Every structure is written in C-alpha cells, then in structure tokens.
Amino acid sequence: MNIDTSPAIELRGAGKAFRTPSGALHTAVRNLDLTVGQGEFVAVVGPTGCGKSTTLTLVSGLEEPTEGEVLVAGEPVEGIGDKVGFVFQQDAVFPWRTVLSNVMAGPRFRGVPKAEAKEAARAWLSRVGLSAFEDRYPHQLSGGQRKRVALAATFVNDPRILLMDEPFSALDVQTRALMSDELLDLWSGTGASVVFVTHDLEESIALADRVVVMTAGPATVKRIFDIDLPRPRKVESVRLEPRFIEIYREIWESLGEEVRITRERGAADVA
C-alpha cells in the first residue's frame, strides 16, 4: 500500500514568506528538504527565531507553503489533517474546561460518542499520572501538570504524526527532564513519527533518532546527524555517556556557527 511505503513527512524545496505589517516580505524558511520516516523521532535545532516553528506549521497544515511541496503520508497537505497532533510552546489547554474535558476535547471534536471519549481520556490521564486531577481546572495545576494534560489531549487522538514546538521550554530543568522521559515512554509503541523543535541541543540528542541542524534565518537544513544511542533511553543518564558527549561536540560545531551568525546579526541590529 502507498501509505506504508511512503515516508511519513516529506518537505520538497518548501519555503514560507510572510508579509510583515509594513508590507515587506519576510522569508521565514527557504528551500527546505527533509524526509521523516514512519515512526521516526526527528529533532530540529537551530538558533532562536530562525523559523523552526514555521516548519511545523507547514507540516500541520495551519499554514501553506509559498514555495515547494509538503507531503504527509505521500499526499500533499491540504488544510489540517486528522493524523496530526501538535503540542504548542505556550499553554494551549482550554482554561474553562476541566482536565478531563480538555483531554476529551479532541475525540469530541472528531465526533466520538461522549462515553467512549471519556473512557479514552481517562486511560490517557492515568498514563500521564493525572487521574486524581480530572475535575481540576488548568489554573489549579502546575506548569508541568498542564503540559501533561496537553500531551494526553494530543495522544488521545492517536496521531500518526506528532509535531512539538519547544513543548518543554517553559518548564524548569528538573521537570523538563522528567517530561522528556515521559514523552519517550508515551511515544514508544504508538509508532507515530515525531518532529520535535527545540533550541536545546542536549534535549534534541537525548530524544531523537536524527537531529536536523538549521541555518540562521531564513532557515534551511544545514546538516542532519544520526543519533546512534540505543533505546530505551533515560534522559538524565544518557547525557553522561561518552558517545553522547562525542555527538554533542560534533553537532555543536555545526550549530554553534549558526548561533554565532545570529548573535552577530542581533548585535548589528542593536548597533
């Protein structure tokens, strides 16, 4: 079957330019070529503000590319597909819904009967350890707990493609490591393909099968690194392994240069 053989995500020379309020054309990403295989975990790293997030919005169908092609499961992206899950950088849980109702939202939006949606939501809530909190409102939870709600709300839809836009960047360091482990745990066995955008190189190596380094904006793919660390991994311990440090050094050589360029540009803008 076509779906089984074609890669999960394919970007072919994709680019996106926005009109700024002043009318000028701002190119966020250009000439993007990237293939993500089925069940593969790909992390995208790059200097801040280089257009990493735009890549995700193109794959999700929230935005259309102005150039090139974006394919999901071999088909061009047209609007928002039902196979996609998206975890946002900021809190995107609905503050007026309880935890349970938040996790039920996806299935309910997709027309799943209420009882069935509730059952599925409860199952995912217990997997993220929030069963005792199902009647709480988001403002009564900690940042990490809210992120767990967001993860459960995303996974309950059983996405084939999981897009994550610096999902843990707002969390403190300990919570972040914990959430990364939890993410790997939730993801394993789902067979979903993941694109994980981050500016944290450590996080990207610990999580991914491949790390994509982006250039300074307007961003394009600079280099792709294979991460040959065995799974299952524990984020806290894997980063102490010699191989991890070796990989880190290698990727940083490539990434550091782009970070420098971005920084110098920023300094030039200020001056």
Partner 1 sequence: MSPDTVAALGVKPGTRTQERARAARTRRLLVQGSRVLLLVLVVALWEVLARAGVIDPFNFSMPSAIWDQIREWGAHGTAQGPLWEQIWYTLYEALLGWILGVTAGVVLGITLGRIRFLADVLGPYIKVLNAIPRIVLAPVFLIWFGLGPASKIASAVVLVFFPVFFNAFQGAREVDRNLVNNARILGASNRRVTLQVVVPSATSWIFTSLHVSFGFALIGAIVGEYIGATRGLGLLVAASQGTFNAAGVYAAMAILAVVALCTEGLLTFAERRLFRWRPAEPGAER
Q: Which residues bind partner 1 (CB under 8 A)?
A: 60, 62, 80, 82, 84-86, 88, 90-98, 105-106, 109-110, 137-139, 153-154, 157
Which residue lies nearer to partner 1 by CB, 157 or 220?
157
Q: How far is the CB of 134 from partner 1 (least distance, A)?
A: 14
Task: Give the Cβ contact number of residue 222 at 10 Å.
Answer: 16
Residue pair 30/54 in contact (Cβ under 8 Å)? The answer is no
* Least distance CB 93 / partner 1 (angstroms): 8
Q: Which residue has the tokens 């994980």?
A: 196
Q: How far is the CB of 110 from partner 1 (least distance, A)?
A: 4
CA distance 241 to 243: 5
Min dist. Cβ of residue 215 to partner 1 (A):
26
Asked if 56 and 165 count as a contact pair (C-beta separation under 8 A), the reply is yes
Q: For 144-170, b where at least 16 C-beta lie within 10 A, e where not — what string?
A: bbbbbbbbbbbbbbbbbbbbbbbbbee
Q: Please report how close the Cβ of residue 84 comes to partner 1 at its closest, in angstroms.
A: 6
User: What 3-state DSSP class applies to 4?
Assistant: helix
Distance CA 7, CA 223 (A): 19
- Minimum CB separation from partner 1 for residue 103, in Å? 10
155 vs 244, beta carbon nearer partner 1? 155
Q: Which is nearer to partner 1, 114 or 234 (CB)?
A: 114
Residue (139 or 260) nearer to partner 1, CB: 139
Least separation, in Å, of the C-beta of 269 and partner 1? 26
Q: DSSP code of 138?
A: G
Of 223, 201, 202, the closest CA to residue 212 belongs to 223
Helix axes 99-109, 143-155, angle to 10 degrees: 20
Q: Which is nearer to partner 1, 159 or 227 (CB)?
A: 159
> Which CB, 135 or 253, lies closer to partner 1?
135
We find the least distance from the C-beta atom of residue 77 to partner 1, in angstroms, to be 13
Across the beta sheet with 221-226, what order do the strands follow? 84-87, 161-165, 193-198, 41-45, 210-214, 221-226
Output 32 or 59, the one with its CB closest to partner 1.
Answer: 59
DSSP 8-state class, residue 219: B
Residue 172 CA neighbour count, 13 Å, CB half: 5
In the DSSP assignment, the letter for residue 227 is -
Peptide bond into 65 cis (omega under 30): no
Q: Which CB atom, from 137 or from 252, has the smaller least distance to partner 1?
A: 137
